[in-house]
Amino acid sequence: MIEIRVVLMPSGLDGSLAGKTCVVFDVLRATTTMIAGFAAGIRRIHAFAELEDARRASAAYTPKPILCGELHALPAPGVDLGNSPGQFTADHAGREMFMATTNGTKALNAARAASDLFIGALVNTAAVARAAAATNRPIVLLGSGTAGEISMEDTIGAGAVCDALLKRDGFVLANDVARMAHRLFIYCRDNLPTVLRDGQGGRNIHRVGLDADVDFAARLDVFDLVGVVDTGNLVIRPQE
């Protein structure tokens, strides 16, 4: 049986991810935004833990990439785009994106010891479960958290992938956090927009008037896309 574990925040990673598959969730909003970018035709996403590092790398890169970053949930000064999944247009197709966010890209950096690393969200649950299952490795579903605390939406996202994996043969939930995440998803799946709005991440987004981001992120399985992370340089590509 292949074990599935859920870790609610990067600080909860105890031990090596080597030999394991990791899926990182920042449902509100970084991983949802990444999947939306790929759906719009973004070619590659370069993830950075810090915005200043993304700025410097972006300035030195040719052709000019899209610089994506946030400050207090809003687009940071001087960036091309913020962290909203609905912001992409046809003009962005074929472009590369350099991205730094408050929680999600930091979690990717924390997980780069994994043997396989994917980005997950509610909008691509089935696809990411399929990709993780195909690695035939133990699976760690990692939440990014919000402001150093557990986030409800990432826990629900991890629970959704648990549910999708358990529908396959040969998978088992290996810790109580995974069992709790799975049960939370089952309880909430018919009311995801309301539940996500009630979490701290959703409240933060509502405070700055970006409720449409929650509505976008609260949809289940609308994209058959997986983002595959090159752990050497944190460059993310859509899986072919």
Looking at per-residue pLDDT, the higher value among 15 and 64 belongs to: 64
Residue-level pLDDT at 39: 98
Question: Which residue in this structure is represented by tokens 């605390």?
Answer: 149
User: Distance between CA atoms of 118 and 114, rounded to whole angstroms?
Assistant: 10
pLDDT computed for residue 163 by the predictor? 98
Model pLDDT for residues 68-108, shown as the tens digit of each residue: 999 999 999 999 999 999 999 999 999 999 999 999 999 99
CATH number at residue 45: 3.90.1560.10
Domain count, the chain: 1
Find out whether 156 and 171 touch, Cβ atoms under 8 Å: no
pLDDT for 14 equals 85
CA dist 27 and 48 (Å) reads 17
> What phi and psi values does residue 134 have, to the nearest 5 degrees?
-70, -20
Asked if 13 and 202 count as a contact pair (C-beta separation under 8 A), the reply is: no
Residue 240: its pLDDT value, please?
87
Q: Which domain holds residue 198?
A: 2-238
Phi-psi map region of 204: left, alpha, beta (phi>0 left; psi -120 to 50 alpha): alpha
Please compute the mean of the pLDDT values over residues 181-201 and round it to a whole number: 98
pLDDT of residue 16 exceeding 90, the answer is no
Give the Cα separation of 122 and 223 in Å (integer): 9
Q: What is the pLDDT of residues 158-187, one digit of tens each?
A: 999 999 999 999 999 999 999 999 999 999
The mean pLDDT of the chain is 97
Bridge partners of 3, per DSSP, are: 172
